[in-house]
Structure 1
Amino acid sequence: MNEQEATVHPSRLELFAGFFQIGMAGFGGVMPHARRALVEKYCWFTEKEFIDLLGLGQFLPGPNVGNIAIVAGARFHGWIGSVLALTGLFLAPFVIVLLLASLYRYYDDSVVLNRALAAVAAAAAGLLLATALKMVVKLERRAWVMAMLGLTFVAIFWLRLPLLGILAVLTPVSLGLGWYALRKESKQ
């Protein structure tokens, strides 16, 4: 999809229903479903806009996709849109998890259940990895962007630094590098 295709402006009902469907499809991790729905299915955002939203969602406290729902809702319908998108996203999972939690209380020592949960966790990791790879492919191929990607990966995966510390250091560095690159391009 090219960058001009994300021009769809959903109604309030479409916004609620879209995020409700994302929440319902999000078994094993909602991020892959959110990206596919918001970028490919509904065309509410371009790939770049989604990556920017995800970056913001990860920077802010709270669940990433919940933050995306709030920003997306506000973009299309102000604070009412935020409430509708967030409610749509969490309504079904809230009810389902509430029911499953009451059942899990009685069957938490089941070997079959614990093995099934391990399999579901592996599938969720695979979905998340596939989504991350799709997003990396769409990143700008600039040295500073790739450097930020690499630094973030090393800080989290190998050094196991705390996320808030990584954000506190790399966010201003990334903003500074982006500003510098923009100034350099405008001079040419």
Structure 2
Amino acid sequence: MIPEDNRPRPKSLTDLFFSFTILALQGFGGVLAIVQREMVERKRWLTQEEFLEEWAVAQIMPGPNVVNLSLIIGARYFGLPGAMAALAGMLTVPLLVVVLLALIHSRFADHPGVAGALRGMAAVSAGMIAATGLKLATSLRNHPLPLWLGLGAAVLAVLMVALLRVPLFYVLMGIGGLCCVITHRRLKP
């Protein structure tokens, strides 16, 4: 979908690069919530519905979801150069930080405080993901798929992946494909 002309948009490739660099550094380990807030609420480069559509596409592509989302948003505004600028912004500085943290971790990995800090960060990350999911769920009331069916599909997918250990690819193709077909049929005039 091409963005409307009267909506805010990135001013340049440099703006796109620095916007995604700042996003990546703000949300280390849980950047989805930050990207949604920045892209939809603060910068208004996307509507909530556009964000959800782009996020859905980003999730089924191979690779990290937020990195895929940066590619999609960059391409939306500046084509391939925009995708590369957003990708570089999302990865360059965080990569340097990760390398530095890995060096520090190798030196202090046996310290009990480091292990406790990592457990705490994992809990915070899980909470951020849950909060983002709840925030994004409000957009589902406008979705053509009935809420009961969407929730049932989500629960079934979690059970299949977490308990039955069905590969995610098959779950996405099966349940996701079925939900896409049902939604498509409901959208037909």
Matches within 5 A, 1:1-188: 7-10=7-10, 11-141=12-142, 144-146=145-147, 147-157=149-159, 160=162, 161-183=166-188, 186=189
Deviating beyond 4 angstroms after TM superposition, the runs of 4 or more aligned structure 1 residues are: none
TM-score (norm 2): 0.88
Runs (5+) with no aligned partner, structure 2: none
Output the amino acid matched with 1:164: F
Runs (5+) with no aligned partner, structure 1: none
Aligned residue pair count: 181
Query: Are the aligned partners of 1:148 and 1:170 in contact in 2 as well (CA < 8 Å)?
Result: no
CA RMSD of aligned residues (A): 2.0
Partner Cα separation in structure 1 for residue 30 and residue 181 of structure 2: 32
Deviations for 1:143-187, whole angstroms, at most 9, x for unmatched residues?
73421343123321476232111111123212211111111xx2x
Partner Cα separation in structure 1 for residue 24 and residue 80 of structure 2: 20
Deviations for 1:62-109, whole angstroms, at most 9, x for unmatched residues?
000111111111110010000000110111210101001011111111
Query: Are the aligned partners of 2:39 and 2:45 in contact in 1 as well (CA < 8 Å)?
Result: yes
TM-score (norm 1): 0.89
Output the amino acid matched with 1:153: V
SS of 1:51's partner is helix
Partner Cα separation in structure 1 for residue 118 and residue 29 of structure 2: 10
